[in-house]
Structure 1
């Protein structure tokens, strides 16, 4: 099912919702120049659909969401968008952030703390951005793609985005998936792709203040977000659990979907049991 909510500044945020309506919610936040379709393998998992209400947003400027002129450098805007989506859950939710989605979660933490959060799962995620911030360290595939991937000239942007999408996985991904990733990237306007990088964000205080369970999951062969960014987040969040996936790249939810889904089932299931016990 597709629906929408009104985020910060009146921006309409596209939302994908599946699963059991009355069940605890898992909210998915995708990465730079992608969409809610990134989570297809999770939305197709029968056990996840049975036990949880699955909610995935399209970030502002992406997918089915509005493309406003501004807000891309404003943590309050990102926090407001995510807060609006969390409102669908009706109860504290486990939030899963991939790549740039981890920074959006960090923005939410900066503004709202852990309100309405039952747990946080970071998957191949950054939590900071800008020169010298270890939580935003990128890998060779992303370094090679910039700045060309931000260009308005398709002759410049297309090869860079194609190489980036191909480099997301440690092993070659099936052609349809590679083309889907590239196609989604091309639907995001160059102005938006650029705006998301015009930030300088330190998240150390926001991460250190987290008081809900957290899990950091990262592929050891991630060439887009360096594994050290995951290590940084795991070290900053009090009591965070970490899981490193050998031989997996930047798409753990697709490259190792079965292991990813099993891990998410356990983590989210424990949060659900804890929430029931507290009632």
Structure 2
């Protein structure tokens, strides 16, 4: 493989030794790992916060893929799934981890940054400039009390704008902050009242009463109950419901069971079933969830995502509570399965628009499109240069898609 010949390997390793981000991530690390194609290896050793080469240590684990797949990975603008080695593990048959997978999970942050540096050094980058910073001064915030199974709890919410109510649902293990960029888009706030809330045990909302953190597991019934309670307690008038990932799934579920309470749904990064997204490392006692979980989701973003937006998503996931992400994934890729039910959605009552980012390898555009075809009257399109977190990866670009979706829902509602 060209990228593993002596010259390129030396440039790559030297760049790793100079990288400040990698040096910060490597504090306390003591590990050696390799990237391999056939008989050719690039070995990276970390000790006392420094990246070393030619240490002579045996790698604890090795990232393996075919030559052609590594060539594709290291392109300046890689195709979907190749933007991340986690994406390759899920969607590319030649990709695998040889050796100690636990050690790999413990050092996923180093692996990711080393591979990023490899692409930057050897091919360049397609990362877009940081967006213009938008003020959060127009956000309003507060708490609303809801009741779940006879127990009261306070839910934190934020709102911006005026007009039609739009309720925004955050992704697994996250919280409403990921919508701050979208809620600063004047083209939206001048026509809609955007409301986003933190699920129980997420962000600044109370945890579910009587549920220990390790026992938390999101179910369809609980999720639906929370959403309807928030709609009722905030007195939202048949809001448009929107969310991505697991929140996109529950949008479809709510269109099935509560169509009369909604003006329509904009289901992003959703399909009727998403298998294969559970991971034992998200709640493993020997894996730092504040490092692993953000790395597990980092590669779901498009490679074009600006450094500032990517860092915000990463940092938001690093702040998640113990096992919160894992408990949400119980719903996203386990308990929820609507393959035999989505065809029953009545889009004459509750219009359905589905949007998926081109670079989402978890719920791919093909999966979302196939689901939309099952729903009579549903509309679907793919969002170029966006991934699994469109509202946070590029809020201004996502806003254009969102406005188009709102226009379609408003026409259908007339």
Task: Tell me the TM-score normalised to structure 1 length.
Answer: 0.81
Tell me which residue corresponds to 1:191: 323
Tell me which residue corresponds to 2:246: 100
Tell me which residue corresponds to 1:168: 300
Does structure 2 conserve the Cα–Cα contact (< 8 Å) formed by 1:63 and 1:184? Answer: no
Q: CA deviation at 1:109?
A: 4.3
Q: CA deviation at 1:118?
A: 0.9
Does structure 2 conserve the Cα–Cα contact (< 8 Å) formed by 1:96 and 1:120? Answer: yes
Q: CA deviation at 1:42?
A: 1.4
For residues 319 and 147 of structure 2, the distance between their equivalents in structure 1, rounded to whole angstroms, comes to: 21
Tell me which residue corresponds to 1:47: 187
Does structure 1 conserve the Cα–Cα contact (< 8 Å) formed by 2:220 and 2:335? Answer: no
Q: CA deviation at 1:179?
A: 3.3
Q: CA deviation at 1:71?
A: 6.9
Q: CA deviation at 1:218?
A: 0.8
Q: RCO higher in 1 or 2 (8 Å CA, sep ≥ 6)?
A: 1
Aligned 1:1-279 pairs, distance under 5 A? 1-5=140-144, 6-9=146-149, 10-20=152-162, 23-68=163-208, 69=211, 72-87=217-232, 88=234, 90-109=236-255, 112-127=257-272, 135-137=273-275, 146-153=279-286, 155-171=287-303, 173-198=305-330, 199-211=334-346, 212-272=350-410, 275=413, 277=414
Q: 1:251 to 1:73 in 2, by over 3 A?
A: closer
For residues 353 and 178 of structure 2, the distance between their equivalents in structure 1, rounded to whole angstroms, comes to: 19
For residues 301 and 325 of structure 2, the distance between their equivalents in structure 1, rounded to whole angstroms, comes to: 21
5+ unaligned residues in a row in structure 2: which ranges?
A: 1-139
For the residue of structure 1 that corresponds to 2:194, the secondary structure is strand
Does structure 2 conserve the Cα–Cα contact (< 8 Å) formed by 1:43 and 1:54? Answer: yes
**What is the CA deviation profile of residues 27-66 of structure 1, one whole-angstrom value per residue up to 9, with x for unaligned ones?**
1111111111111221010121110110112122211112
For residues 193 and 228 of structure 2, the distance between their equivalents in structure 1, rounded to whole angstroms, comes to: 16
5+ unaligned residues in a row in structure 1: which ranges?
A: 128-134
Does structure 1 conserve the Cα–Cα contact (< 8 Å) formed by 2:309 and 2:393? Answer: no
For residues 306 and 194 of structure 2, the distance between their equivalents in structure 1, rounded to whole angstroms, comes to: 25
Tell me which residue corresponds to 2:58: none
Q: CA deviation at 1:102?
A: 1.8
Does structure 2 conserve the Cα–Cα contact (< 8 Å) formed by 1:7 and 1:80? Answer: no
* Aligned-CA RMSD value: 2.6
